[in-house]
Amino acid sequence: MATLFQPNGDRSDVLPKNGHKFTIGEMQTLVDGDVQPLHLSDRRILVVNEAGLLAKLPVNQQATFCAKEGGHTLENPIVGTALLCSYDEFCD
């Protein structure tokens, strides 16, 4: 089961519609734009809005923390809604 992190601090569990893997379309809807996957050291993927900074989306503290804990050195914080999923749930 994946987790959706909202910029306001809310989080919710989400499942792929087919029960197995998220489609690109599902992920785009969840993060409100084109997706950029960040592969984390614990074999999970944090899916973020690729153009979130350009769109001036609000900072997502939970997702930023998750990315840093997963081994990413970030120049900017994660912004907008982010989806944390397993490799098995991520669309190929």
What is the tally of structural domains in the chain? 1
Q: Could you give the count of Cα atoms lying within 13 Å of 40 in the half-sphere of its Cβ?
A: 21
Q: Is the pLDDT assigned to residue 80 strictly greater than 90?
A: yes
The whole-number pLDDT of residue 92 equals 57
Distances (CA, A) of 66 to 2, 11, 58: 13, 13, 16
Examine residue 20 and state whether it is found in any structural domain, yes or no: yes
Task: Band the pLDDT of 91: cuts 50, 70, 90.
Answer: confident
- Which two tokens mark 24? 């690109």
The boundaries of the domain holding residue 52 are 2-86
Q: Is the pLDDT assigned to residue 25 strictly greater than 70?
A: yes
Examine residue 91 and state whether it is found in any structural domain, yes or no: no
What is the pTM for the complete model shown?
0.95
Examine residue 66 and state whether it is found in any structural domain, yes or no: yes
The 10s digit of each residue's pLDDT in 33-73 is 999 999 999 999 999 999 999 999 999 999 999 999 999 99
Examine residue 92 and state whether it is found in any structural domain, yes or no: no
Residue whose tokens read 């503290």: 61
